Amino acid sequence: MPELPEVETTRRGIERHLVGRRVTALTLRRPDLRWPIPADELEALRGAPISAVRRRAKYLLVDVDAGSALLHLGMSGVLRVLPPSVPAGPHDHVDLALDDGRLLRFTDPRRFGCLLWQPTGVVHPLLAGLGPEPLDAAFGGAHLFALSRGRRGPVKPFLMDQAVVVGVGNIYAAEALFEAGIDPRRAAGRISLARYEALAAAIKRILGHAIERGGTTLRDFLNPDGAPGYFEQELFAYGREGQPCRRCGTPLRALRLGQRATAFCPRCQR
């Protein structure tokens, strides 16, 4: 599933093509993705200038005066700005035609993504209750420390809880815990403030660097221009179980936490 850097890369890629443009037509080739697409509500996009393209957690919001089209890429979704001459394929489910003759196309082979509507002044239920953005100044070690008190569960699922902090998925949680030297199995409530400060700093550095490098190349992810991301080659933990640790040479161990695969170094992470 595309994580925060991939979604932010997509946002930056489409923003310059959408802001200031007007939607002239909406083409829905199926009535639903993960959930039904509210075609009637999305008609509010037609003719309205797009004022912004924002990201909240792993959701993208395309803003007009009346509200926002709310998109999630799911496991395999891709957004691209294309000329209208490009024929739609079997998984090209949504087109937003723009007043400059181009279109924004939403491709989603697995259909776990979504296209919904959020009226102005309303917070969609999918966005309600989300934690802070990891790159915002409001997020830091003190925030993680305060929320972790009394928690006996492992720190990695705690870090991936979207009510704690948004957008830290499996890949970047594994990488941040490795950089901070924290065992992913350690109880969240047994980690000190100093270690949480190191963990928050690692999250910010790794996510920021991944965004600069274009995200992590996975099987389903491509940038809006069709180019892959370039962060995968720099991974220290995720997907490297059984391989030697890049720091100490110890083979990385594998386990499952919160139903997610986890790789870590039993020597470097305590």
For residues 64 and 213, give the distance between their C-alpha atoms in angstroms, rounded to a whole number: 30
Contacts of 189 (CB under 8 A, 6+ apart): 148, 149, 150, 151, 152
SS3 176: helix
124 is in an annotated binding site: no
143 is in an annotated binding site: no
The answer to whether 105 is a known catalytic residue is no
Joined tokens for residue 165: 């902090």
Choose, from 34, 186, 260, 267, the residue flagged as catalytic: 260
The answer to whether 111 is a known catalytic residue is no
76 φ, ψ (degrees, to nearest 5): -140, 10
Choose, from 56, 58, 105, 240, the residue flagged as catalytic: 58
Burial class (CB in 10 A: 0-12, 13-18, 19+), 233: exposed
The answer to whether 204 is a known catalytic residue is no
Contact 228, 214 (CB under 8 A): yes
Contact 172, 4 (CB under 8 A): yes
For residues 244 and 259, give the distance between their C-alpha atoms in angstroms, rounded to a whole number: 24
Choose, from 2, 5, 134, 224, the residue flagged as catalytic: 2
110 is in an annotated binding site: yes
- Active centre residues (catalytic): 2-3, 58, 260
Binding-site positions for DNA: 91, 110, 151
Binding-site positions: 91, 110, 151
